[in-house]
Structure 1
């Protein structure tokens, strides 16, 4: 018997059902790529059964919220077409895009702060002096003045607050959140107005403009958001330090919105006997997946379309590097603008 005659196809021997049970056990995307390269029949089997997407969804359950896949150069989504040829091309596209998505999530990009701008706080005690915008400053003092956000006072220590931010991209991988409670060094006893616990939500807005500060500032509740990731609760220490809240696993934010829930209050202000929460700094450490991956929301977010553009040159990441440089300069620019404003005799004007 020749070697050709005894060469058997693994898939033919086990059958499709048993083969699927074996392939599902693969937990490394690299192994799935290797399996696809064994033969045409193996590659076809992997693509037809959507193993690439299912592996991504197991590793990052948020991915199951994505309904369609589309290439930027194509107008055809991954919905089943009217012919078997169109359907197969759709499956191939989906396989390719989810392989790239998983690679982008796992790539060792330089980790940095992914917060782009603040959107709104559930309440603010003295606006704009104690606004959420202050939490983007790296220091608790700017121009010799305290820099922090403060909630309104509450008599109920269980009252919660939220801080909502937009991220650098609609698709970001977040590993941990950094929060520094504020120590009121100008009050007797230097009280620290921390929260009791903290929880994080990530998702998108149901409004037409997901990251429009003007629109989001008019939203009074969280009903206009859809959260695709919600973290467990973490205990917050009543300390004036940068406290790290490491997520149980990296989370994929689909929609570019991060909301920090500050649950419970621990510190009473002596002058009015009310509970407050104050935060001087917030960071969301991770990396954005753009420029080659994006997500579109249709019908108020009922459909979430993953959009992929074929990488062409390494220069495609220049936009991100430039944006990072601008973000690193923001504290310096803020200090300079603050000094200019304080030296001016003109009345400050509201910025819309």
Structure 2
């Protein structure tokens, strides 16, 4: 009974919000797509509230554990990697906010679009939530890249400086432990914000289809507003895909560095066995940056999203034209 009442309240809220959105004040079939965009916005806000709380805790936990193992191996190399991560996250968030605000204000001022408060709240807050999630993804991928770069520097120092065997073994063990912590924390983070990222890609596909349908049906919506909508909805998946690709590239570079290092200069067989164990770990335990297991967030995914949007657009137009012919 309580579930039924809750669903009724939610549906009533969806109807009120959808009725107040300017995107819904266009002829069919774009009206149905705009309803879907509003529903995606509301779910995005709900997912962001959960993501913000969990991700903040996991990032702090992840970084503290990784730092313990890094400092244990930093008797030889002692870089300070804490500050650049948060600086990168701050600049990413600030830059995205400036771009989004500039596009929105320019569109409203140029075409004198009258927006009510409900539309501004739902659409802007949903976009801001996606921007913050994108900045978190950039934060995590930058942290992964920095960790991998420091692993490379520590291993290179250990093998190029010809340290004693016990120091080299200690460095390799701590690199392995820290790498496992990074991999474990990455999996946890994907489980937290993976669904939000998947929803962001879905929202982008729907927005692209919406704009294409509006242009194809000859609607009177200003074209620059559609272009700004496409830019706002497509830039975030592009940023996420590029950041995840850079983290995967850093993992490949670390693996290549381990295979390039020469362990034959060490007479102790334990060094070679530890190095082989590290190589096996790097090959089998790579960072799994996916959208909650639905797909891998990389550049080929962007091409798949574009092809999916084109397919849905063609199918949508065929159904719409068939409906017009039946009415006539």
Name the structure where helix makes up a greater proportion of residues.
2
Question: Which interval holds the TM-score relative to the shorter structure?
Answer: under 0.3
Q: Normalising to structure 1: TM-score of the pair?
A: 0.23
The one of the two structures with greater contact order (alpha-carbon pairs below 8 A, sep at least 6) is: 2
Q: Normalising to structure 2: TM-score of the pair?
A: 0.25
